[in-house]
Amino acid sequence: MLKKLLQGMVVGIANIIPGVSGGTMMVAMGLYDRLIHAITHLKSEFKESLKLLVPIFAGAGLAIVILSRVFEFLLENYPIPTNLAFCGLIAGSLPFIFKKVKGHSVTVGKMIPLLIFFAIVILMAVLGENGGADADVSFGLVNVIKLLVVGIIAAATMVIPGVSGSMMLMLLGYYNVILKSINTFIDALIAFDMPLLLEMCGRLIPFGIGVIIGIFLIAKIIEFIFMKAELHAYYAIIGLISASPIAILIKTDWSSFSVLMLLIGILTFAAGWFAASRLGGE
């Protein structure tokens, strides 16, 4: 249970940071196949599915609520070692993923999805370099519908390995407002400020409903893809994950670069790699 909670926290942290994929972390820790199965078979295997889903989602939720400010601070003040730690986590996950295709011949047909999805992640990172203005989230029917749709898009991209849901939110202009809304909600809850709580609920509830819908929709699609073309799907995932560290480095603010920061970054990269080896596997 504790290991699953910690794995969930890693997934939650990954989903906070633009350029880092929660789906990648799920694959890295041997969770991906089981999570997709648990989500798509929730009704028929209710108890078994909940045993996996509850600690994972609880850990992810805790990480997002508790650590969003911490990672805001780390990314603002120590972007190089923080991002290198996530590069280490991702790089350390690759041996687990290569096991999925071990023993099968490499063909042109398998390399095509790898190269296509590698390029998609790099392109997303480059396009995401300059986020647009924050979206309007004032309460109203149109904005509620927009938040619902954005939640569906964010959840779908969060689940796909190698694709950063938070980067997608940034491209859509909703990243800062959602992160600030979560932090404001916690502050309002502590202060028991009901008007502010209701205002934040008007933003977070439709977004949250969209996230739940998106997770179930994309899980069904991914399960279908794995049933029809499992090896090709894994090659696509390898392409997505291999590109992720490059995408993170593209997104990193290098203005604070120094030899000391680089040395610290090497240590955090190694720590990330070690964490991946401990949390990875079944």
pLDDT, tens digit (0-9, with 9 covering 90-100), for 165-184: 776 776 677 877 888 888 88
Per-residue pLDDT at 7: 84
Per-residue pLDDT at 130: 47
Q: Is 33 helix (H, G, I), strand (E, B) or coil?
A: helix
Tell the burial category of 198 from Cβ atoms under 10 Å away from its Cβ (0-12, 13-18, 19+).
exposed
Beta strands in the chain (DSSP E): none
- Of the pLDDT bands very low, low, confident and very high (cuts 50, 70, 90), residue 134 is low
Tell the burial category of 195 from Cβ atoms under 10 Å away from its Cβ (0-12, 13-18, 19+).
exposed
Cα–Cα distance between 32 and 222 in angstroms, integer?
11
What is the torsional sign of CA 16, 84, 71, 5? Answer: positive
Domain boundaries of the chain, sorted by first residue = 2-279
What is the torsional sign of CA 1, 206, 195, 70? Answer: positive
Cα–Cα distance between 120 and 63 in angstroms, integer?
28
Evaluate if pTM is beyond 0.85. Answer: no
- Of the pLDDT bands very low, low, confident and very high (cuts 50, 70, 90), residue 268 is very high
Is residue 116 predicted with pLDDT exceeding 90?
yes
Q: Within a 10 A sphere around the Cβ of 5, how many other Cβ atoms?
A: 16
Report, as an integer, the average pLDDT of 253-264. 92
Cα–Cα distance between 279 and 277 in angstroms, integer?
6
Q: Which two tokens stand for residue 45?
A: 């295997």
Residue with tokens 């929730």: 42
